Structure 1
């Protein structure tokens, strides 16, 4: 029986953008544009807007020149134009503070609503309208599904975002993301020494294992950024990136290796202009089952979840892989 009047309510479509503050914009541009091969769509007043070669929208990455290396916003596109307003009303009804952002306040993007995730205090922005400009003819691809020709190390698109917050707030934030924004828990782990607390949760609104992950901050701080992942086409691309980056003056993180969680190959490096952790990410599996049951990783198998093979991630006390960057507040 059809139900023409059925309205599913506001929904998030996918992880869309991230605004990384960088003390050295030119160095960050060299990294993302010249090395990773992202296209600079627009640059004005110390802000650059970039996209991967398979992104038709205006941008997925914003680089903002500023004194502090912090994340200014995490952007998520919603499924319908009216969902921006509907989410805003939903948040206001819950007593949350929001900031309405006008069209064009972020170049190429329409109206948006900004808020802090309850508990974790990460600054999210929800939007729908975004321009889809053609690339300059000098780099335009003959393939209509590509915005430009593949260049550099071949970043295709933003893949996912990884956040951290305090042990006291991680359960609240993870639950809110699921109940209010519609993220589905795909895989997860609990703190072995405190099993009532979520160690990490991998969440998605698409068929990916995660569009967003949230876990515990080793330093017990809220609003922490761990990494943003950019997708490359295949495992060989990750190995090529590892080979080339090793020869450059770039802080080499971890990898190449393969995660058990999500089953994708990874390479972690750091943007030399800001120090933010960047993951080059390829492969992984997709979930199509509507009745998917979240998979829990427990000791001793949890170590395979972090690294199935390759460079073991140092997640012990004081481990470098646990370092994070701060995020902005409600007002940038």
Structure 2
């Protein structure tokens, strides 16, 4: 049987939202890349051990309240902050902007949208100067900054590298109830769609959006939100991910592996999903593709294509669809979670087990978990 391939189009194919966020007349800030995330963790020492001793992130600075971490190729002060707090959550999705003037643009852009905006000349974290934080129209805590403290880039310090060396922050992934609405807003912010998942009726289940020339700086995943699905760090090669798995096995920590290793259909990247001590999801990711040309084609996947999430058709555990981290408002309180009203991706894929072949015209086959227990 000839199997359908993903659809490739020249423009964003996602249907217009029914309730769009207004497009501001103020120009958007020029976002360069996703740059750091601030996670609230309930036990700072335990979380530090996971990210530093197990995954190998480098401590730039720390105190009794926070640990500032970076990957081997990062030259700014940090790309992950662990901050001690009572509720595990994501406190900031940090984006670097091109110029200091882009902070003025961020203020004007979000004030026109009626969002709560705070600006601190001294920054919200160590190592970062003048910064703007907002509660964006989707309920996410976004931060924009330009001024940073430079630190040593450890790319050439092979004496410090380990077999599973993590080199860069690659992307965020956000859970939101209305994906088309989120996409339109992010396009107004200057992001472009690279890939998406839809069905024949036009329901959009997820979209991948970028500023830097990779598959994404963030993705919008349909579900109850606003929540943070995962933060993703890159390695150079697939074997680095295998080495991380071997390390976790040797440490008798295999239970932190939620999904993978495997290869995504979407993005074509090799992946591994872990859960940190607070349940925050961390992806280790490598070898997606270049997207920087202005006419980069958009790839649309059928939600019933069992190779969209894993190119080899391996199972997607239900927790990967249902679990995500809370996000905080600018006062540090969890944002209310709004239920998705459209079908969920898990609901419309047979068994949500990843084994079933559900593409149009296919005979249902494969092993379903519910039938094998």
Give me the whole-angstrom Cα distance separating, in 2, the residues matched to 1:232 and 1:67: 31
Residue 48 of structure 1 aligns to a residue whose secondary structure is: strand
What does 1:11-50 align with in structure 2 at a 5 Å threshold? Answer: 11-50=30-69
Match of residue 233 from structure 2: 230
CA distance 1:161–1:19, change in 2 (3 Å): same
Per-residue deviation, residues 248-294 of structure 1 (Å, max 9, x unmatched): 3342200000001111100111112x211111111111113311232
RMSD: 2.0
Give me the whole-angstrom Cα distance separating, in 1, the residues matched to 2:143 and 2:28: 18
Per-residue deviation, residues 171-221 of structure 1 (Å, max 9, x unmatched): 222210111x1000000112x38x44421000001110111001111xx3x
Residue 305 of structure 1 aligns to a residue whose secondary structure is: coil
Match of residue 335 from structure 2: none
**TM-score, scaled relative to structure 2:** 0.77
Give me the whole-angstrom Cα distance separating, in 1, the residues matched to 2:73 and 2:293: 26
How much has 1:297 moved relative to structure 2?
A: 0.7
Match of residue 195 from structure 2: 187
How much has 1:246 moved relative to structure 2?
A: 2.8
Match of residue 306 from structure 1: 309
Match of residue 254 from structure 1: 259
Residue 307 of structure 2 aligns to a residue whose secondary structure is: helix
Q: Is 1:72 aligned to 2:78, yes or no?
A: no
Give me the whole-angstrom Cα distance separating, in 2, the residues matched to 1:310 and 1:48: 38
How much has 1:237 moved relative to structure 2?
A: 0.6
What does 1:204-243 align with in structure 2 at a 5 Å threshold? Answer: 204-217=210-223, 220=224, 222-243=225-246
Q: Is 1:106 aligned to 2:125, yes or no?
A: yes
Give me the whole-angstrom Cα distance separating, in 2, the residues matched to 1:40 and 1:88: 31
Give me the whole-angstrom Cα distance separating, in 1, the residues matched to 2:36 and 2:238: 24
How much has 1:299 moved relative to structure 2?
A: 4.3
How much has 1:157 moved relative to structure 2?
A: 1.3
When Rg is computed on C-alpha atoms for both structures, the one with the higher figure is 2
Equivalent pair of 2:262/2:270 in contact (CA under 8 Å): yes
Residue 256 of structure 1 aligns to a residue whose secondary structure is: strand
Match of residue 327 from structure 1: 327
Match of residue 117 from structure 1: 136
**TM-score, scaled relative to structure 1:** 0.86
Q: Is 1:127 aligned to 2:145, yes or no?
A: yes
Residue 255 of structure 1 aligns to a residue whose secondary structure is: strand
Equivalent pair of 2:133/2:143 in contact (CA under 8 Å): yes
Equivalent pair of 1:198/1:215 in contact (CA under 8 Å): no
CA distance 1:304–1:310, change in 2 (3 Å): closer
Match of residue 174 from structure 2: 163
CA distance 1:148–1:157, change in 2 (3 Å): farther
Match of residue 160 from structure 2: 149
Per-residue deviation, residues 127-180 of structure 1 (Å, max 9, x unmatched): 111101238xxxx66x3xx699324731111111011012xx33222210111x
Give me the whole-angstrom Cα distance separating, in 2, the residues matched to 1:174 and 1:68: 29
- Structure 2 residue runs of 5 or longer lacking an equivalent are 1-26, 333-373
Give me the whole-angstrom Cα distance separating, in 2, the residues matched to 1:53 and 1:310: 32
Give me the whole-angstrom Cα distance separating, in 2, the residues matched to 1:147 and 1:108: 25
Q: 1:176 aligns with which of 179, 182, 185?
A: 185
Deviant stretches of 4+, over 3 Å: 146-149
Equivalent pair of 1:37/1:152 in contact (CA under 8 Å): no
Give me the whole-angstrom Cα distance separating, in 2, the residues matched to 1:63 and 1:163: 19
